[in-house]
Structure 1
Amino acid sequence: MRSLSTRHLAGVAGLATVTLLAVASPAFAHVTVQPGAAQQGEYTAVSFRVPDESDTAATTKLEVSVPTDHPIASVATQPLPGWKATVETTKLATPVKTDDGDSITEVVSKITWVADATGSIRPGQFQEFRISLGALPTDTERVVFKTLQTYDDGSVVRWIDETKAGQPEPAHPAPTLTLTKADAAGAAAAVPKAADSAEAAAPASSDGTARTLGIVGIAIGAAGVLTGVLGRRRGAAPTK
């Protein structure tokens, strides 16, 4: 069989690399929320992961809208060196009841981070903007955070398109947090625990059985050896 030339192999490797980058780059370039899922009704912390897509410009501003159609009573930002965070609030037509029985009439509707002289996200870099929020709504399966990303050359990328089931992903999808039901999450958590318990019990049971069989085997072997020795002694006894 004739082997491939070095030039041919290099060409194939180069094509594979270009193809991989073409597939992976768009997914990496999206502004996303991490982790991408949380449980309905819980308090959690998430990060908005923001890559810089430009070859020449740096990201200097990020605006994240917090939806109020399914209000979230508590939203707080985590300090980030090089960036200043400000929040905007909106009054609710219908107050939200907290676990303590208090009524919330005003909620955070927008968070804006602006880079100072030491901040910004430069080409080839990314940054994570972390917030805590809760309680997460129980009457929807997702929270969509429409986001604007501003570069120091004045260009703005609008990450506001909602992904529709059964349709191709839009060019600029909005960061989306998927919400799971509390009972489903609890059942899913219980299954691994039960499996872990079974796996933990199985080795102990197997070890006990193996040990018992081993002892029985040794006893049988010892009996066989003794029988053979006695048989040889009888066979060797002198006849009168």
Structure 2
Amino acid sequence: MSKKLFLRAGAIAAASTLVLAGAAGSASAHVTVSSPDAKPGGYAKLIFRVPTESDDTLTTKLVVSLPKDTPFAHVGAQVKDGWKVEKTTEKLAAPVKVGDVTLSEAITSVTWTALKGGIPANDFDEFALSVGRLPDKVDSLSFPAVQTYSDGEVVKWDAAPPASGGEEPEHPAPTLKLAAAIVPVAATTNEDKDSSDSLARILGGAGLLLGLIGLGLGLRKPAAKVQS
């Protein structure tokens, strides 16, 4: 290969690497939700990670919507320096029972607004909620969010998650997967089973042998006394 062709191939490879890196970066730069302790029927801390996908503007506002069909009886919002937090309460279409409480209204959204500045360009911040109880008959919860930038741009993170194997939407709603509590069950291996069977056979055989000895002793006639 000539030096010219070699340099051209290197340039193409480098450009391809940059394109792939950019694609990976944009795919991961979403508003997302995670939790260290979420499980059906319990209380959880929800952490919303918010990146500023811009080179010259800031994120100045975040609105997170909460489920209305499975509302939370308790919603506590993280208080952050430099941000004002507000909760919006709405009347539900029909009363919903959550644990021992029946709700006719619930907190349906939480808004954080920067009092000054915001999340800088190409940086991120995290906003937390303490909620409960989580529903116990669902495997995931979606939290549509609206992100506002300092130049007035508004991005709605509200697209439904793709079906299995489907292409991810450009602005997916933050979605939390719920994992049911797993009760440890002792697994019985074939080796354990074989050992248990062998022990049972040994004990059974020993019991039978002792039974036969006892029966033999019971059937023996007492020896005649020898008179002197």
Equivalent residue, structure 2, for 1:104: 103
Note the C-alpha offset of 1:11: 3.3
> In 2, are the aligned partners of 1:55 and 1:123 still within 8 Å (CA)?
yes
Out of 138, 141, 152, the position equivalent to 2:139 is: 141
Q: By percentage of residues, which structure has more helix? A: 1
Cα deviations by residue, 1:94-121 (Å, 9 ceiling, x for unpaired)? 14243xx34333211011110011x401
Counterparts of 1:103-182 in structure 2 under 5 Å? 103-117=102-116, 119-166=117-164, 167-180=166-179, 182=180
Give the whole-Å Cα distance in 2 for the aligned partners of 1:11 and 1:36. 44
How many Å apart are 1:12 and its aligned residue?
A: 6.4
Is residue 87–residue 110 contact of structure 2 (8 Å, CA) maintained in 1? yes
Aligned equivalents of 1:21, 1:56: Cα separation in 2:
21
After superposition, what is the alpha-carbon deviation per residue over 1:58-101, rounded to whole angstroms, capped at 9, x for unaligned?
11011111011111211111111111110001223214243xx3
Deviation for aligned residue 1:35: 3.4
Q: Which moved more, 1:32-41 or 1:127-136?
A: 32-41
Q: TM-score, normalised by structure 2?
A: 0.71
CA–CA distance in 2 between the matches of 1:149 and 1:88?
A: 17
Give structure 1 regions of 4+ aligned residues with deviation exceeding 4 angstroms: 5-10
Q: Deviation at 1:38? A: 3.0
Say whether the 8 Å CA contact 2:36–2:45 is kept in structure 1: no
Distance in 2 separating the partners of 1:36 and 1:135 = 15
Residue 213 of structure 2 corresponds to which residue in structure 1?
none
- Do residues 69 (structure 1) and 69 (structure 2) align? yes
Q: Identity of counterpart residues, as a percentage?
A: 42
Gapped regions of structure 1 (runs ≥ 5): 196-240
SS at match of 2:38: strand
- 1:82 corresponds to which residue? 82
Whole-Å separation in 2 of the counterparts to 1:63 and 1:126? 15
Task: Check conservation: 1:86, 1:112, Cα contact below 8 A.
Answer: yes
1:178 Cα deviation from its structure 2 partner: 1.3
Aligned to 2:95: 94
Cα distance in 2 for partners of 1:36, 1:12 equals: 43
Whether the aligned pair in 1 keeps the contact of 2:72 and 2:98 (CA below 8 Å) is no
**Mapped partners of 2:151, 2:114: distance in 1:** 14
Alignment RMSD:
2.9
- Once the two structures are TM-superposed, the CA of residue 8 in structure 1 deviates from its matched residue by 6.7
